[in-house]
Every structure is written in C-alpha cells, then in structure tokens.
A and B are shown apart, each in its own frame.
Chain A
Amino acid sequence: MDALALEAKAGKADAAPAPALATKRPKPQKKAKRIVYFEVEIVDAKTKEKLLLLDKVEPTASILDIKSMFHKSNPQWYPARQSLCLDPKAKSLKDEDVIQNLPVGTTATFYFKDLGAQIAWGTVFLLECVGPLLIYLMFFFRLPFIYSPRYDFTTPKHWVVHLACACHTFHYAKRILETMFVHRFSTGTMPLRNIFKNCSYYWFFAAWMAYYINHPLYTPPMYGEQQVKTALMIFLFCQLGNFSIHIALRNLKQPGSKVKKIPYPSKNPFTWIFWVVSCPNYTYECGSWVGFTVMTQCLPVAFFTIVGFIQMAVWARGKHRGYLKEFRDYPTLRSSILPFIL
C-alpha cells in the first residue's frame, strides 16, 4: 500500500514537469491511485458454512497470502493442508495465483477443503530409503531370530551375497544423498497417510528380498561369475545413468522458479537417452533393478522389479502427457519410459 502511495506521489510530482514521462505510466493519472480492495469469503466446500470473511485484501495478494491469513484465524489448518478453489468441484488454485488475475469479482468466494495432515516430500523420501537400507543390513548381518539357529556356523556367505549387499546399500545411500542434495521438489508436501503406504511398500519388499538373498540356503546364480559380472555392469551403468539424469533435471530449474522446461541431451553420454525417452530416470531405475535381479537370481527381486516398473511406467506416462500438453514443440520421437515401446 505504501509503495503504491509513494508511486502515486511521485507520479504527481513528475507529471507536471515531464509530460513525456506521463505517457509511460500504465494508467494515466494525476490523482492518487485508488486501489480496489477485494473482499474474500472462505466457505467450506462440503457444508457451505462460511468460515472467514476477509475485507481489504490487496489485489496483488496471492493465494498463499490468503492461506496464511486463513491460517492465522484457524491455526489448525496450516497453508500446506488448505485447498482453495473457485468451485467445490474444481481443481485447487495454485499458491502463486494472484487474486486480481482470477475470474472473480471484487467479492471473491473460495471453497475450502482440508487436505489432511501434510508431510514434506523430502521427509517421505528419506524415510522410504532409510528403512530398506537398514532392514537389508539387518538380514545381511544375520541379526538374531531372523534365520533359524540350525544354520549357525554353516557355510560362509557366497561372494555374490556380499556384492548384492554392497549394491543394495549403494543404491539406497545414493537415493538418500540425492534427496538431500540434488532433487528439487516442485510441490512442497503430500498427505500424511502416504507415508504409511510408501514406507510399507519399500520396507516390505526390502525385507522380503533381503530374507532370501541373505538366507543360509541361498543358491548362487545359474551361470556363475559371468552372470554376476554382466548384471553388475548393467546395475552400475544404470545407477550412473540415473544419477546423470537427476543432475540434468536439477539444472533445468532455477531454485524457486516454477517455469517448466524441456530436458535435452547434454555432453554427458548418459543423457543422450533424452532423444528417445521423456523420463529416463525411470528407465535407468528399472534397468538397475533388472541388473540386480539377474545378479541375485531371486524371484522376490523380480517381483519388486515388475511392480516398480508398472508404477514407474504409470508415472512416466503421466509426466510425458504433461510435457505434451505444456509444450507444442515437444520432440515427437520420445516415448515415455521404454524407447519406442512405451
């Protein structure tokens, strides 16, 4: 308000001596600018009960500002768990939307939905990954009560079991480090109940895999050293690829900017896959797990790979469709996750 008032005063001073300057002003005015304040009413989307009335809202206020004001009067609903819409059935308005750009009159009515307790994406990712890391190690180090004591002091672990532990641990350690230092999350939070769903999935499969690979009766792969070495190459190649893609995606966006850009291949050969795939991070991730499956020749790992692939394919297709919608000139050669196939 003060900035605008200052501007208005300056305009008054400038208008007289420099008529040329006056034409540059977006609104030709000599008086103080009259700000049209908005009146915002927040209504519960289900019960239609009026929750809050805000008068004298800046036209330049964003949805996030309104959410903050709503949070002050209703402290149990922090901004991340508020969903404000123009219509009870419409999509949520984005935090960056500015009220004067919305199709509302000077009295705006927003419908509020409680999204439930929220948790930061980063937190969920960390918990998802720390679990499998530790759980696998518990089985590798044969903590008591996991395997029957009749197997104590039997044959030592086959060398591929050690290798598998190293790969599995490396994979999740890499993911944890990427979550902390590489990834830039575009949405801040997700519903709290997702953490139970996600953690159950990762932790269960980690335990299931680890039980068999580290079992005293584990059978090493059919084709021995050749099979393990080839699979290890695939695994490492895909891990490097996955990391390169994460770096490339990070460099696409400036911190805090919400501008979307098309990722393109760079000098790094691992990013050349961008010519043929929209979401190579998922492609490489699937490749890593295929490598791990072949390396351990373990059916539960194969199940995990298949389920993971299905989920990632769904995400990749969604992302790919998002790209196609957003950019008219999006490269047509690209598939979503598998080059030329899917």
Chain B
Amino acid sequence: MSAPAMGTTRTAQSDASQKKKKGPGALATAYLVIYNVVMTAGWLVIAVGLVRAYLARGSYHGLYYSIEKPLKFFQTGALLEILHCAVGIVPSSVVLTGFQVMSRVFLTWAVTHSVREVQSEDSVLLFVAAWTVTEIIRYSFYTFSLLNHLPYLIKWARYTFFIVLYPMGVTGELLTIYAALPYVQKTGLYSVTLPNKYNFSFDYHTFLILTMISYIPLFPQLYFHMLRQRKKVLGHVEEYTKVE
C-alpha cells in the first residue's frame, strides 16, 4: 500500500499523528478535571440560586437578578474551552466549540446584560434554566469521562435531556432577542452610522434580526447532529446486549 518513494516520510508522519491521538497528558487531565468540577459546581450554584429565589419570591418573574453574577462568571469562563481545543488537550474542533461558546457569551453580555429592559422577561428564565440543566450534566459528563468512571445515567442524561432542553433554550434565546429589538432601535445601541473617517457602518438592530434568522438553518443541523450522536452512543449498548 505504501508508495515506495515517500515511504519514510509517511511513516514518520503517521507516528506523529498516532502520538497526538493518545490524548492529554497527566497534568492536562488533572487540570481538565479541576476545570470541569469547578464548572459543574458553578452551574449548581446557579441552579440552587434559581430555586431559592423562586421559593423566596413565590413567582417565576425576575429570577435573573438573583443569579446574574454567577451566570456571567461561569458562562464567560467557558471561553477557556476554546483554548483547550486550540492547545489540543480536548479533541474537539476549535471552530465548532468557538462558535457555540461565543453564541452563549453573546447572549449573556451583548443581549441580556446590555439591554436592561429584557432582564425582567420570562424568556430569560427559559434559556437560563435550559442552560443550567444542560451544563450541569455536560460538565459532570466530562469530569467522569476524564476519570474513566462514567455512570451510564450521566451518559444517558447527556444524550437525552437535550431533546427537550435544546428547543427550550433556543425558544428562550429567540424570544429574548426579539424583546430587545425595540430598545436597540430606539437607543442605537452598539451602532455606528455614516459619515465617519473609517467609512464603516453597523446597525445592531439589523444584526440581531439576522442572528435570529440564522437560527433557522443552524438549529436543525445541530439538533439532528445530537440525535445522530445519541443513536451512535446509546445505540451501542443495545447492540452489546443483543450479542450477549
């Protein structure tokens, strides 16, 4: 199979790629375990904060304010995950991870934080709740995977809960952006008009509308990808039991 001329260079390259596939070293694994434990704990804090606030107030409204700071802190902390992929200690695509994290960070800071008027909307609770449950499961999944002791329940939860949580989160996000639109247009938030010396303009209102439209092609792709992953990951167990 090997072409005679480039034989030596090919084998050298395949050795290098094999070494890469072995995964993170001991130090990187320790760091990642700590990172994932901290993130799990952080999102648990947010979850507990939401529950306590609900019990104290007796209603679902305005719960954002009770968890605003930990939400901002831990969601922004997820930016580290892009670095993990870039450095290579996590085998995911930098682009894909970057895209996912940036969209979350965008919603947290550029929409919810920036437009005060939407912070009391119920749609905020919708996506915060979805994110909270998803992240608790996801980070505990990574923690256990790194320690090679993954309980089936966590794996099942990770690949099943998204079926409800994903649409729930997307609905919350879209409603929040939609609620922000009139305020953005009125105040010209983050917008630049002509003329200016850099010959550039940016209309944040239009940008938000385009963002909402972009959910239409993107969300189904991500959703069906997760469904396919579910079949692959959870489907295997059924195969093994059949063989036995």
Contact = CB atoms under 8 A, between A and B. Distances in A.
Asked if A and B bind, the verdict is yes
B9 A215 contact: no
B195 interface: yes
Contacts of B1: 86-87, 90, 103
B240 interface: no
A217 B198 contact: no
A165 to B, nearest CB: 15
Contacts of A242: none
Interface in A203-217: 212-213, 215, 217
Interface string A216-251: 011100100000000000000000000000000000
B194 A215 contact: yes
Closest 8 CB pairs of A and B: A299-B200, A217-B195, A298-B199, A217-B194, A299-B198, A212-B199, A219-B195, A219-B197
Nearest to A296: B199
A213 B198 CA distance: 10
B201 A212 contact: yes
Contacts of A299: 198-200
A300 interface: yes
A296 B201 CA distance: 15
A90 B9 CA distance: 16
Contacts of A103: 1
A217 B198 CA distance: 11
B148 interface: no
A24 interface: no
A27 interface: no
Interface of A: 86-87, 90, 103, 212-213, 215, 217-219, 222, 296-300, 325
A90 B198 CA distance: 50
Interface string B175-211: 0000000000000000000111111110000000000
Nearest to B9: A325
A213 B199 contact: yes
Contacts of A298: 198-200
- Max count, chain B CB within 10 A of own CB: residue among A103, A299, A325: A299
Contacts of A212: 194, 199-201
A215 B201 CA distance: 11
A95 to B, nearest CB: 15
Given A86-B1, A87-B1, A215 B197 contact: no
B68 to A, nearest CB: 34
A103 B197 CA distance: 65
Nearest to A87: B1
A218 B9 contact: no
B123 to A, nearest CB: 32
Nearest to B197: A219
A222 B197 contact: yes
Given A215-B199, A217-B194, 20 more contacts: A86-B1, A87-B1, A90-B1, A212-B199, A213-B199, A215-B194, A218-B195, A218-B199, A219-B196, A222-B197, A296-B199, A297-B197, A297-B198, A297-B199, A298-B198, A298-B199, A299-B198, A300-B199, A300-B200, A325-B9
A217 B196 CA distance: 8
Contacts of B194: 212, 215, 217
